[in-house]
């Protein structure tokens, strides 16, 4: 139990550092939750600024929902019996001033952002409705159906199934650097 807690803390720090390092210099510490000023009246923005670190299927489903977070990291393999929908508009680092962006990170990484252990998310089908979703690493075992612009498959990520886009325009907006073992097509 102590090892899992330690691993979760290391993963949290690593993910926040990785997601917080950008060229803007706005948040050099990499801590997405620490700011000089707290939000005045709207506490809802705090709910989406941190990573959702999940280790079981229902927590994953909740994290990718419209009420979830902009980044979802897993600590192990996740198996879902039903199809899952990644929905909602989220902003990079949970900041509405940033571009629309969402990330699924089924892996752990070291302080240099190298993947140290990759995990598999198994589902019959994942439907992507969040714009600019980045499936950054690890494996999605199942089919993926994309209904939003800007889908990204990271270079260390695999879709072990078919990847289908709702239109050619959506496929053209995608960045596919990883591996798709099945067919990639547009309807």
- Quick: pLDDT tens for 52-82: 888 899 999 999 999 999 999 999 999 999 9
Q: How many CA atoms lie within 13 A of 125 on its CB side?
A: 9
Q: Is the pTM of this model over 0.75?
A: no
- Quick: pLDDT tens for 99-146: 999 999 999 999 998 999 999 999 999 999 999 999 999 999 999 999
Residue 85 domain-assigned (yes or no)? yes
Q: Residue 129: is it exposed, middle or buried by C-beta count within 10 angstroms (0-12/13-18/19+)? A: middle
Residue 65 domain-assigned (yes or no)? yes
Owning domain of residue 158:
2-21+45-186
179 has pLDDT over 80: yes
Pairwise CA distance, residues 135 & 152, whole Å = 6
Domains contained in the chain, number: 1
Residue 16 domain-assigned (yes or no)? yes
């Amino acid at each position: 139990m102590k090892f899992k807690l330690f691993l979760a803390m290391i993963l949290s720090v690593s993910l926040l550092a990785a997601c917080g390092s950008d060229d803007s210099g706005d948040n050099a510490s990499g801590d997405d939750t620490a700011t000089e000023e707290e939000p005045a009246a709207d506490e809802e923005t705090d709910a989406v600024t941190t990573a959702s670190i999940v280790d079981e299927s229902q927590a994953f489903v909740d994290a990718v929902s419209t009420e979830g977070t902009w980044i979802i990291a897993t600590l192990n393999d996740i198996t879902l019996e039903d199809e899952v929908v990644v929905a909602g508009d989220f902003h990079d680092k949970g900041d509405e001033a940033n571009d629309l962006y969402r990330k699924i990170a089924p892996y752990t990484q070291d302080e240099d952002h190298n993947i140290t252990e990759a995990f598999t998310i198994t589902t019959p089908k994942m439907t992507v409705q969040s714009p600019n979703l980045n499936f950054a690493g690890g494996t999605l075992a199942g089919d993926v159906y994309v209904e939003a612009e800007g889908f990204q498959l990271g270079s260390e990520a695999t879709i072990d199934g078919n990847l289908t886009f709702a239109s050619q325009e959506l496929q053209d907006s995608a960045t596919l650097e990883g591996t798709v073992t099945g067919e990639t097509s547009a309807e």
